[in-house]
Amino acid sequence: MRVITNVRGTMKETDPEKAKAVHNEIVARLRPVGDALGSISHQTYLNPQNPREFFAIDTWPDMESLQNFMGHAADPASAIASMFEGQPDISIWVESGYDDYNNG
């Protein structure tokens, strides 16, 4: 059963290009670990009204893969939190089993 995590918060960096660079550097460090542990995708979004408001969706094949990633020695939780003012809002969701569709 697929699992997603949502991460939402206000980026520390006020310059959009610097904020992007901070994010991309963190992803570059964590992606090899995530890929090895089964990460399916990482999608990011910015609020068009306030581009410092960041939202990400990460997809995992199952809860065990996510837990293995979060427990990894690279300390992904601290790395992710480092790009935000205060603690980001993080939530975990599992597939509902309801009928879904995706038009791309």
Q: Which long-range contacts (CB under 8 A, 24 or more apart) does 59-63 make?
A: 59/2, 59/3, 59/4, 60/2, 60/3, 60/4, 60/5, 61/2, 61/3, 62/1, 62/2, 62/3, 62/38, 63/1, 63/3, 63/92, 63/94
The residues spanned by each domain of the chain are 3-94
What is the mean pLDDT of the segment spanning 63-70? 95
pTM score, whole prediction? 0.89
Q: What is the pLDDT of residue 42?
A: 97
**Residue 54 confidence (pLDDT):** 98
Q: Encode pLDDT of 1-46 as tens digits.
A: 999 999 999 999 999 999 999 999 999 999 999 999 999 999 999 9
Architecture of domain 3-94: 2-Layer Sandwich (3.30)
Dihedrals phi, psi of 98, to nearest 5 degrees: -75, 165
